[in-house]
Amino acid sequence: MQIEKKDIRALTKEQLRNFFVANGDKAFRGNQVYEWLWQKRAHTFEDMTNVSKETRAMLEANFVINHIKVDTLQRSEDGTVKNAVRLHDDLIVESVLIPTETRTTACVSSQVGCSLDCNFCATARLKRMRNLEPGEIYDQVAAIDNESRLYYDRPLSNIVFMGMGEPLMNYPNVMKAIDMITSTEGLGMSPKRITVSTSGIPKMIKKMADDEVKFKLAVSLHSAVEEIRNEIMPFTKNFPLTDLRESLEYWYRKTKSKVTYEYVVWKGINDDKKSIDAFVKFCKYVPCKVNLIEYNPIDDGMFQQASEEATNVYITALAKSNIVAKVRRSRGKDIDAACGQLANKS
C-alpha cells in the first residue's frame, strides 16, 4: 500500500531543519529548502539547483509540493485578469488581478466552494468541498504578483480575501498564509495592504482582534435590517446584528482599525428609506468607510442592481453623517470576473 506523501510546505522551518538532522545532514539544509519553497517559489524539488541531486531525491521520496497551476487565464478589456486555478486534487478555484492606474490588487480564494448560503452569491451554490491549505492561498498571491509584473511592470500592491469561500471559516490556514505573505522569508508584503472580507462571524472577528492582526477588516453587510439580512444571507440567523455590532466594537477597541463595509444595493430589496436609515445608523457604531458595490446578476431572479438614483441616495445619506462612501464598479464584465462573495457567473 502506497503511503500518501505530505506536502513539504506544511512543515515549519524548524521541522525542516530537524528532518535533515534526523537524516544525517546539516540543519542549514532546512533553511535552504525553506527559502526555495517560499521566497523562490519552487514548484518542484528539481528547481532547487543549489541542493544536491541526492538530497533532492530524498525530498522527492518523502514529500510532495502541492503547487497550484493556473489552468486558464482570461484578460478583460479593462485589464482585469481572471485565473482558474487547478489544485493538486483537480479541484478549481478562482483568483483575480484587478489593476488601476496606481495599484494592482489580488482577489484570492480561501475555500473550494463556500460554507455559507448567501442567496446572491454564485460561490454559495457550490457546496464547500474543502478548505485551501496555506500554500495554496500563498500560491494564488505569488501567481498574481508574477502576472502584475508581466502585464503591468510593477509588483502586486494589495490583496483582498474576497474570492471563493468565507476566510474566517478557514481561519488557521488563512492566518498561516498571511504570515508567509508578509514574512521577509516569503513575499514580504505589508499586512496593511491586506484586507480580509467576512460575511460576519462575530466570534472569529473577536478572535482576530485578540490575535492582534495587522491587516484590515471588511464586512459584507448588505443590510442592517435583521429580517432582510436573514433573507438574503440565511446563515445570519445564527449571527444577529447585535452580535455583529458587539464584535466590531470589540475589534475597533483592540485594533483601532476602521472597518470597511461592502454593500450591494438591490432593486426592491434594500433600496428603501428604512434600509438606508438602518445602514447609516449601523455605520455610526464604529469608525468605518463604505464600498457600495455594483452587482452583476447571477441569474434573472430576485437580485437585480438598484438604480443609480437609489445608490446616490445612500451616498448622500452617508455623507450627511460624515461617512465616506465610494461606488465600486464591477470589473472584467466581459470575462465574468468578480470576487466570489460579491458573486458573478462562474
**Distances in Å between the alpha carbon of 281 and those of 208, 223, 284?**
24, 11, 5
- Backbone φ and ψ for 195, nearest 5 degrees, come out as -125, 125
Degrees to nearest 5, angle at CA 335 with 332 and 336: 80
Handedness of CA 44, 107, 111, 218 (dihedral sign): positive
Q: b/e string for 140-165 if b means 16 or more Cβ within 10 A?
A: bbbbbbebbeeebeeebbbbbbbbbb
Task: Identify the bridge partners of residue 290 per DSSP, sorted by sequence position.
Answer: 261, 325
How many other CB atoms are there within 10 angstroms of residue 91's CB atom? 14
Q: b/e string for 177-203 if b means 16 or more Cβ within 10 A?
A: bbebbbeeebbebeeebbbbbbbbbbe
- What is the rounded CA–CA span in Å between residue 195 and residue 177? 13
Grid coordinates belonging to 321: 453623517
- Backbone φ and ψ for 254, nearest 5 degrees, come out as -80, -35
- Backbone φ and ψ for 211, nearest 5 degrees, come out as -80, 0
Grid coordinates belonging to 117: 448560503
Please compute, for residue 183, the number of CA atoms within 13 A of its CA located in the half-sphere on the CB side: 14
- Please give the positions annotated as active site: 94, 339
Q: Closest Cα to residue 133, out of 37, 198, 240?
A: 37
Grid coordinates belonging to 120: 446572491
